[in-house]
């Protein structure tokens, strides 16, 4: 809500809607995605129809409509990783987690993304878990890697984990 107020204050009057993108960026920075309730509040505050906000959200691939998983697994599909069987690694991860790229597991523990490129082509194929990079990953390595990143039960413990790390 604070983000919305700040942005709305800057773009008032007849051009209130020009603050839309800025506010959406703020919401995504705060929540990791744009929650529906926040989008509705924004719609009221800027007098922009919710439908128009949804249009902007679905136009830019940057914006997320669902809460991301707490641990992010990014499989690189840049040119090098792609040639070094990155797609095989991605398939294995999809099977292991039961989700597709861009989705989170039902318990909200893991988020699977495809990215390009992570800039470590010499280590391809590359898997990044949160901000830790794993090199030359083969499907058989996955159980070992996943063990190092056990699921975090909820958001509070997520914050704890960060503070103790």
Per-residue DSSP letter, 75: E
* Closer residue to another protein in complex, CB, 60/151: 60
Query: d(Cα 125, Cα 82) in Å, to the nearest integer?
Result: 7
Query: Which of 5, 55, 138, 160 touches another protein by CB under 8 A?
Result: 55
Q: Using omega within 30 degrees of 0 as the cis cutoff, is the peptide bond preceding 125 cis?
A: yes
Closest-CA residue to 82 (of 111, 116, 133) = 116
Q: Is residue 59 within the footprint of another protein (CB under 8 A)? A: yes
Query: Which of 18, 58, 79, 154 touches another protein by CB under 8 A?
Result: 58
Per-residue DSSP letter, 62: T
Sheet holding 110-115, edge to edge: 110-115, 71-76, 127-129, 132-134
Q: Is residue 100 within the footprint of another protein (CB under 8 A)? A: no
Query: Which of 9, 49, 98, 151 touches another protein by CB under 8 A?
Result: 49
Q: Which are the contacts of 119, defined by CB distance < 8 A and separation ≥ 6?
A: none
* Closer residue to another protein in complex, CB, 17/141: 17
Query: Which of 51, 62, 131, 147 touches another protein by CB under 8 A?
Result: 51
Query: Which of 10, 21, 52, 154 touches another protein by CB under 8 A?
Result: 52
CB of 63: closest distance to another protein in angstroms? Answer: 12
* Closer residue to another protein in complex, CB, 41/120: 41
């Amino acid at each position: 809500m604070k983000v919305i107020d700040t942005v709305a204050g800057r773009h008032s009057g007849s051009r209130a809607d020009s603050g839309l993108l800025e506010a959406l960026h703020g919401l995504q920075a705060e929540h990791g995605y744009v929650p529906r309730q926040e989008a509705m509040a924004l719609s009221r505050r800027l007098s922009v129809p919710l439908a128009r906000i949804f249009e902007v959200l679905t136009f830019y691939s940057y914006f997320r409509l669902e809460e991301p998983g707490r641990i992010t697994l990014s499989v690189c599909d840049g040119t090098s990783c792609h040639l070094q069987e990155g797609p095989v690694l991605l398939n294995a991860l999809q099977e292991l987690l039961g989700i597709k790229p861009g989705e989170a597991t039902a318990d909200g523990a893991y988020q699977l993304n495809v990215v390009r490129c992570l800039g470590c082509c010499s280590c391809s194929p590359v898997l990044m878990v949160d901000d830790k990079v794993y090199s030359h990953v083969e499907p058989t390595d996955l159980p070992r890697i996943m063990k190092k990143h056990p699921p975090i039960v909820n958001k509070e413990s997520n914050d704890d984990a960060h503070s103790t790390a």
